Amino acid sequence: MSHYARAPFVLPRASWRETSILLAVAWLVPGLVHLLPWAGSRPLGVYLLPVFWTTFLAVYFHGAVLGLLVGLVTPLINLLFTGLPALKNAGPMSLEIFFFVLVAALLLGRRPGGRFTAPLAWVAGKALALMVQFFIPALGAVDQPLPHLARSVQNGVAGLAVLAVINVLLVTSYPPADAWEKE
């Protein structure tokens, strides 16, 4: 049984160096995506979901606690440097990240070698965030959660594919038994 299966929320501690690198990459990746030339009506990040890439790396190697830190700090740093996500979207996005990390950690705890954990966690996290927003409008009112979820999944297909590639590369390059038992 892997270490992750025993403690999905707190894995081997990340050093200050590892944490700093994860935070830097988490800031850099979405920042670069937002700076790419793009003529779409919505920011490119809506389609590529770059905030979730490094967040998943953090969850995969170090559990939900560091994943939450990386995931929740990234939008704030990007908001300061690039103006994206729009301030009105920062709260709902944070809620989405929270549920993404929670679901990813739970899925990794149950099935550490799952190849589609990251995309599944994103869809589930998005759905949970929309349901919370529906019932607690102060967190970002959503009138129709199911159509909103369908549009989000449709918009995020490219990002879900990137998350799947990252997930498969992690599982094949750093199998759970190796990655989670080196304390």
Q: According to the model, what pLDDT value does residue 115 have?
A: 92
Q: According to the model, what pLDDT value does residue 16 have?
A: 85
User: How many domains in the chain?
Assistant: 1
Q: Which comes out higher in pLDDT, residue 125 or 112?
A: 125
Tokens of 97: 């990240």
Q: According to the model, what pLDDT value does residue 66 have?
A: 92
pLDDT band at 96 (very low <50, low <70, confident <90, very high): very high
The stretch 149-164 carries a mean pLDDT of: 96
How many distinct helices (H) and strands (E) make up the chain? Answer: 9, 0
Tokens of 129: 């965030």
pLDDT at residue 53 greater than cutoff 70: yes
pLDDT at residue 119 greater than cutoff 50: yes
Q: Rounded to the nearest 10 degrees, what angle do helices 87-110 and 117-135 cross at?
A: 130
Q: Which comes out higher in pLDDT, residue 87 or 175?
A: 175
pLDDT band at 142 (very low <50, low <70, confident <90, very high): confident
Q: What is the CATH number of the domain that holds 161?
A: 1.10.1760
CA distances from 139 to 7, 45, 89 (A): 30, 21, 10
The stretch 16-42 carries a mean pLDDT of: 85
Q: What is the pTM of this model?
A: 0.85
The stretch 99-115 carries a mean pLDDT of: 92
The range of the structural domain enclosing residue 67 comes to: 3-179
Q: According to the model, what pLDDT value does residue 180 have?
A: 46
pLDDT at residue 31 greater than cutoff 60: yes
pLDDT band at 182 (very low <50, low <70, confident <90, very high): very low
